[in-house]
Structure 1
């Protein structure tokens, strides 16, 4: 498995044991993927309850979670794993790239404030680059793939139609490689991965890869942006 010179696995292990020292990391030469202004989906899902669920994967879950924690209408955004089995849903195993899991984020949202289509628009526009195959920025491997895990036939239909719409509009110079799969299970990640962007705003990986995504959300989706993030530790979800 290829790793960037900025080793995120080592960083996470250090964080887990309380030994992360920001000064020990050289400033990386990469930055966040560029945001792309794209049209809203022509088709959208109809709400069926007071709280809906979307599960998406787009590289490191720290940044994806951070973006949606700053999105109005999101009542909880949890970093975790999807695509594999419960027995391998842990960071050490997933980091090998052999479990079938992707680093994913489960988004619980209020459909009266934000729609499934708008979540996908933010996901494609500012949360990640959907044209990168099995990688995002400095992170390489199938666990960093772009994938939408649908929870219903309607979500599948909306996601497929939106990808076709964006490809037809040539929103990117390269085609979208985002996979669409039915969600078989979502498994929350370890506690030290939750709320990571908010808790470690000065960590170099966050500064160069993830904070720009939140800034792009603020600029491009101003009506959907909230300054105070909705954190896992304080979320209240009604199913």
Structure 2
């Protein structure tokens, strides 16, 4: 993957963005969804794809009501759901996270708000930051008809808040967990150049910009 090639070839100072792409160092001021999924007593899951799963996983791990986050691949087949194969950009997968959450403490709509406000840039085309290719696309994989309805409604609600069109796609497909070394990568590798350059600013912005949501 491009992030690995960049890290292997260059020191931190050279991990620069392509022209016109900015790091996620602030929270886009987005409202709560006007429509949300009704709460239930059982744990629920959400699946979002927003570029490199290391940082997206780290963002959602900060939230109250989130019981677990797993990095993985969504939108392709089980046979091709590996880091090596997805990296070829020919499998149809997106790097994604599966979030298990308590709907009595945090709603699907609130997860959507964080996804669009800070977890990634939903207006980027062809990838996220330095990571280019369809596996880094912005996508939502609804786990129920209610989630699909709420996701579509929220995208329509927030589209005017962005200067560019949203590129997020609503897709269907299974989720496959990534290799063990990708799980909790942010927590286990705090000095990794990619984490320092791209993901720590995002998590810091979340904690500063949406403190009421932090566990």
TM-score, normalised to structure 1, is 0.83
User: Is the 1:9–1:95 contact (alpha carbons within 8 Å) kept by the matching residues of 2?
Assistant: no
**Which structure 1 residue ranges, 4+ long, deviate > 6 Å from structure 2?**
none
Against the structure 1 CA distance between its residues 33 and 87, is the aligned structure 2 distance closer, same or farther, given a 3 Å change threshold? same
Match of 1:176 in 2: 166
Match of 1:191 in 2: 180
| Count of paired positions | 209
1:136 to 116, 128, 149: 128
How far 1:139 sits from its partner (Å)? Answer: 0.4
Match of 1:224 in 2: 213
1:119 to 108, 111, 115: 111
Match of 2:4 in 1: 8
> Tell me, which stretches of 5 or more residues in structure 1 are unaligned?
15-22, 227-239
1:158 to 150, 174, 177: 150
Structure-2 separation of matches of 1:29 and 1:110: 38
Match of 1:38 in 2: 30
Deviation track 1:8-46 (CA, whole Å, cap 9, x = no partner) reads 2586xx8xxxxxxxx973421236334311111111001
Structure-1 separation of matches of 2:39 and 2:136: 29
How far 1:209 sits from its partner (Å)? Answer: 0.6
Match of 1:29 in 2: 16
How far 1:181 sits from its partner (Å)? Answer: 1.5
Match of 2:200 in 1: 211
Which secondary structure does the structure 2 equivalent of 1:57 belong to?
A: strand
User: Is the 1:54–1:149 contact (alpha carbons within 8 Å) kept by the matching residues of 2?
Assistant: yes
Asked if 1:146 corresponds to 2:138, the answer is: yes
User: Is the 1:33–1:128 contact (alpha carbons within 8 Å) kept by the matching residues of 2?
Assistant: yes
Deviation track 1:134-166 (CA, whole Å, cap 9, x = no partner) reads 310100000000000001111000000000011
Which secondary structure does the structure 2 equivalent of 1:206 belong to?
A: helix
Match of 1:68 in 2: 60
Task: Report the aligned-residue RMSD.
Answer: 1.8
TM-score, normalised to structure 2, is 0.92
* Worse overlay, 23-32 or 117-126: 23-32
> Tell me, which stretches of 5 or more residues in structure 2 are unaligned?
none
* Worse overlay, 54-63 or 27-36: 27-36
